[in-house]
Amino acid sequence: MLRRSFLWAAIASLGLGAPVSADAVADAMAAVQKHAGQKTAWDGPTDGPAAAEGKTIVVLAGDMKNGGILGVTRGVEEAVGAIGWDVRVLDGAGSIQGRTAAFGQALALKPDGIIINGFDAVEQQAALGQAKASGIPMVSWHAGPVIGPDAEIGLFTNVSTDAMEVSAAAAQWAFADAGGAPGVVIFTDSTYAIAIAKADRIKEEIEKLGGTVLEYVDTPIADTSSRMPTLTTALLQRHGAAWTHSLAINDIYFDFMGPSLAAAGIAGDSKPKAVAAGDGSESAYQRIRAGQYQSVTVAEPLNLQGWQLVDELNRAIQGVEWSGYTSPLHVVTADNISFDGGDDNIFDPGNGYRDAYRKIWGK
């Protein structure tokens, strides 16, 4: 519940005659708080096929420098150890050429299954077609904007939290934190359909609530280390104090903003405040805990999703329908960072998911 002191501070920040009501600010924060509590109850599958024996799978990682992809890969490796399979991880290294080469290598290995981890399925449609024709089951993480199966391109299921809820929660937090008058810069990457869908949802929510989108920036995730420092400086010059919040589709954009903000004399807990609509990387947790150039990440349970991918692939290998499960999101702030794995810089729900999946697999 929003504290009264926060409400009065929010109202005061609007100025006389501002069109946004205290109720609108309170409603936005109440919507956020639904995703900020502890996750203690397992709401995923409780039945399914026992573990297939002696399988070897390949993880095609879009870019292992990306904290979300790295977290999911670690979860897959942990789950593979529990289910009793072998796994090979191939790194696409953040480029189309790298991912194409990795996919070709995966096909040559003739695995029992493939996990596409963190890149757009449409980009590699030809390779997916080859895998489908070869009868290799495929599951994915963030391969498109829709959760669930895509039989046309051969995906047994695409695993994600509800990306539109993630985006809405990030926008709602920024709106409430700004007292109903945010000036937002949105960062996305048009290489990925899911990234554009998330950024568009952020823009829609901010404008619906009555905030202002100052700029919609399309810059590649793979180039954030080289682009973000100068881009941050340029945005400060263009927008100045009107820029209250940065909203990005991934934490990685904020890995490289801090030095430019510091050079401009902006303190780590000052505006523009950084809010990520995914994925809950280790570096994001560290910044939030320290109050240094990031206030919020709307985290996905990356390790849990690695287990989910292995469970879904086990279902695909055995000709059983996908589980239908959508994993929970979590709004991480300095106030709640210590629970659900936060002390280890990850959103790792305390809902018993490991035991639940082991039970399904007979392990």
Closest CA to 48 of 308, 352, 311, 317: 311
- Judge if 75 and 142 occupy the same domain: yes
Residue 356 lies in a domain: no
Closest CA to 74 of 83, 85, 61, 92: 61
Query: How many Å separate Cα 8 from the centre of its chain?
Result: 32
Task: Output the six-digit token pair for 43.
Answer: 């709401």
- Judge if 17 and 129 occupy the same domain: no
- Judge if 180 and 221 occupy the same domain: yes
Helices (H), the chain: 4-14, 22-33, 67-83, 96-109, 125-133, 163-177, 193-209, 224-239, 258-263, 282-290, 302-317, 353-361
CATH code, domain carrying 183: 3.40.50.2300
Residue 153 lies in a domain: yes
- Judge if 114 and 207 occupy the same domain: no
At residue 359, the pLDDT reads 98
At residue 279, the pLDDT reads 82
Given a cut of 70, the residues of the chain with pLDDT beneath it are 1-21
Residue 350 lies in a domain: no
Residue 309 lies in a domain: yes
At residue 118, the pLDDT reads 93
Residue 315 lies in a domain: yes
- Judge if 129 and 215 occupy the same domain: no
At residue 85, the pLDDT reads 98
- Judge if 225 and 143 occupy the same domain: no
- Judge if 101 and 196 occupy the same domain: no
- Judge if 183 and 289 occupy the same domain: yes
Number of domains the chain is built from: 2
Residue 42 lies in a domain: no
The whole model's pTM is what?
0.84
What is the extent of the structural domain holding 267?
A: 4-33+163-299
At residue 144, the pLDDT reads 84
- Judge if 222 and 276 occupy the same domain: yes
- Judge if 279 and 182 occupy the same domain: yes
Residue 148 lies in a domain: yes
At residue 15, the pLDDT reads 37
Residue 307 lies in a domain: yes
